[in-house]
C-alpha cells in the first residue's frame, strides 16, 4: 500500500482535501469537531505530510542554510548548537554544509543549498569571492555572515573583529611585561580569521618596537598534537622567549603540554596565549591567556537575525552585530561558587 497522502486522510475523515489541510495546520477557521476528526484520521493512516509539496505550493520553505568551514574542533559545532537551539520551536530547520575552507567547495555547497530555496542563509566569514556573493544576492534571501565583522556584510553579520582581538591580546601581554614573543599557528592561508589575529597582534608589537622572534606555521589542521610539536620545535630556537601567541586554544593547550613535559613553568617563565576561550582552558593544570569568543551566542544571534529578517518587516535589526571577545590572562576565579 502506497504512502498515505492528504487525500487519504481527507477521505478517511469524510471531508475535503482542503479542510483536512487546514485542520492539520491549524489554519483558517475549522470547527473543533472537524479538527479532531481529521487529526484522528491522520494518526490512523499514519500520515506524514510532504514538505516538498507544501513548500513548492506555498513558495516558502522552513529551511535555513548554514555553511561552515570545518568540524575539526569544537568551535563550529558550538555555533551550530546555538543556531539549532534558537530555531527549536520556531518551525524552522537548519541545514548544514561543510566547505573545508575551500572557496570552490563553498560555492558548490551554497549553490546546492540555494536549490532548496531556503528562507535564509547563514555563512561563515565576510570574505566570499565575488562570484559567491553574486549567487547569494541573486537568491534574494536574507544572508547572515558569522564569526567576523571586519568588512562589509551582504545583509547582516555577527561576530567579532579578529584584528582587534589580536591587537588587544598583544597590548595586554606587553602590559604584563612580556617582551620576547613567539608565534605558533597553522594553515594561515586558509584561515583568514586566525591570520588577522596574528596581524593585529603584530601591530601591537610594532607599536612597542617589537616583533615575533620565532614563528612556526604548520600545514595540518590545528590541534593540541600539532601545537605541542611546533612548540617543542620553536623552543629549540636560540633566544629565550617569554611569551608564545597561538592561533587558537587547541594549539595553545598543546603548547602547555609541551611545557609541562619540559618542566617549564607556565605562565611564570613563558606565558602562553590562545584564542577562543574553550571550556578546556578552565581545566588545564596551568593558566593560559585567551580571548573568549562567544560562539554559541554568535549562533543564537545569527538565528535570531534570520528569524527577524523573515518576520514582519517592521522590526529592523542592526546590520552588524559586534560581540566583543572577553580577554582572560589568568585563570578565572571560580566565580559562582
Residues that bind DNA (CB under 7 A): 3, 5-7, 15-19, 21-22, 25, 27-31, 33-34, 49-50, 53-54, 56-59
Q: Judged by CB under 8 A, does residue 224 bind a copy of itself?
A: yes
User: Which of the choices DNA, a copy of itself, none does residue 19 contact, using the CB cut-off of 5 to 8 A by kind?
Assistant: DNA
Binding mask 29-68 for a copy of itself (x = CB under 8 A): -----------------x-xxxxxxxxx----x-------
Q: Judged by CB under 8 A, does residue 13 bind a copy of itself?
A: no
Residue 183 has which C-alpha cell?
608565534
3-state secondary structure of 281: helix
Q: Which residue, 34 or 70, is less far from DNA as judged by CB?
A: 34
Residue 276: strand pairing partners: 292
- The nearest distance, CB 142 to a copy of itself, in angstroms, is 15
Distances (CA, A) of 255 to 188, 221, 306: 18, 15, 39
Binding mask 134-173 for a copy of itself (x = CB under 8 A): -x--xxx---------------------------------
- The nearest distance, CB 33 to a copy of itself, in angstroms, is 25
Single residue of 18, 71, 208, 322 touching a copy of itself by CB under 8 A: 71
Match 590572562 to its residue by C-alpha cell.
329
- The nearest distance, CB 18 to DNA, in angstroms, is 3
- The nearest distance, CB 231 to a copy of itself, in angstroms, is 10
Report residue 35 CA to chain centroid gap.
Answer: 42
- 6 Cβ contact list (under 8 Å, min separation 6): 17, 20, 21, 24, 47, 49
User: Which of the choices DNA, a copy of itself, none does residue 27 contact, using the CB cut-off of 5 to 8 A by kind?
Assistant: DNA
Half-sphere exposure (CA, 13 Å, Cβ side) for 143? Answer: 23
CA dihedral sign, ordered 183, 101, 149, 297: negative
User: Which of the choices DNA, a copy of itself, none does residue 29 contact, using the CB cut-off of 5 to 8 A by kind?
Assistant: DNA
Distances (CA, A) of 134 to 96, 139, 313: 21, 9, 24
For the chain, how many residues are written? 337
Candidate segments 10-18, 19-27, 28-36, 217-225, binder of a copy of itself by CB under 8 A: 217-225
Angle at 143 (CA atoms; ends 195, 250), nearest 5 degrees: 30
- The nearest distance, CB 165 to a copy of itself, in angstroms, is 23
Q: Judged by CB under 8 A, does residue 285 bind a copy of itself?
A: yes
Residues 152 and 145: their CA atoms lie apart, in Å, by 10
Residues 156 and 322: their CA atoms lie apart, in Å, by 11
**Dihedral, CA atoms, 324, 163, 251, 265, nearest 10 degrees?**
-80
User: Under the rule (CB under 8 A), what is the footprint of a copy of itself?
Assistant: 3, 46, 48-56, 61, 71-74, 76-78, 80-81, 84, 93-98, 111-112, 114-117, 135, 138-140, 223-225, 227-228, 253-254, 257, 260-261, 279-280, 282-285
Amino acid at each position: 500500500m502506497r504512502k498515505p497522502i492528504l487525500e487519504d486522510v481527507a477521505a478517511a475523515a469524510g471531508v475535503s482535501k482542503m479542510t483536512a489541510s487546514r485542520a492539520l495546520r491549524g489554519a483558517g477557521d475549522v470547527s473543533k469537531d472537524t479538527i479532531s476528526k481529521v487529526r484522528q484520521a491522520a494518526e490512523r493512516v499514519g500520515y506524514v505530510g510532504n514538505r516538498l509539496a507544501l513548500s513548492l505550493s506555498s513558495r516558502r520553505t522552513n529551511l535555513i542554510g548554514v555553511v561552515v568551514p570545518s568540524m575539526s574542533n569544537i568551535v563550529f559545532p558550538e555555533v551550530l548548537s546555538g543556531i539549532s537551539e534558537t530555531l527549536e520551536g520556531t518551525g524552522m530547520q537548519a541545514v548544514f554544509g561543510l566547505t573545508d575552507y575551500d572557496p570552490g567547495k563553498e560555492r558548490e555547497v551554497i549553490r546546492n543549498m540555494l536549490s532548496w530555496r531556503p528562507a535564509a542563509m547563514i555563512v561563515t566569514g565576510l570574505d566570499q569571492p565575488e562570484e559567491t556573493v553574486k549567487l547569494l544576492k541573486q537568491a534574494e534571501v536574507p544572508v547572515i555572515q558569522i564569526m567576523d565583522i571586519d568588512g562589509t556584510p551582504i545583509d547582516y553579520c555577527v561576530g567579532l573583529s579578529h584584528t582587534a582581538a589580536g591587537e588587544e591580546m598583544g597590548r595586554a601581554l606587553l602590559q604584563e611585561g612580556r617582551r620576547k614573543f613567539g608565534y605558533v599557528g597553522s594553515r594561515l592561508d586558509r584561515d583568514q580569521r586566525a591570520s588577522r589575529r596574528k596581524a593585529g597582534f603584530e601591530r601591537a608589537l610594532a607599536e612597542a618596537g617589537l616583533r615575533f622572534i620565532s614563528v612556526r606555521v604548520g600545514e595540518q589542521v590545528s590541534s593540541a598534537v600539532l601545537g605541542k610539536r611546533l612548540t617543542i620545535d620553536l623552543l629549540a630556537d636560540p633566544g629565550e622567549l617569554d611569551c608564545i601567541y597561538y592561533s587558537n586554544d587547541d594549539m595553545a593547550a598543546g603548547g602547555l603540554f609541551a611545557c609541562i613535559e619540559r618542566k617549564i613553568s607556565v605562565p611564570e617563565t613563558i606565558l602562553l596565549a590562545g584564542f577562543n576561550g574553550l571550556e578546556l582552558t578552565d581545566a588545564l593544570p596551568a593558566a593560559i591567556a585567551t580571548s573568549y569568543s562567544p560562539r554559541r551566542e554568535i549562533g543564537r544571534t545569527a538565528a535570531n537575525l534570520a528569524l527577524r529578517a523573515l518576520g514582519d518587516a517592521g522590526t529592523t535589526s542592526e546590520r552588524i552585530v559586534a560581540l566583543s571577545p572577553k580577554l582572560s590572562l589568568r585563570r578565572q576565579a571560580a566565580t559562582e561558587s
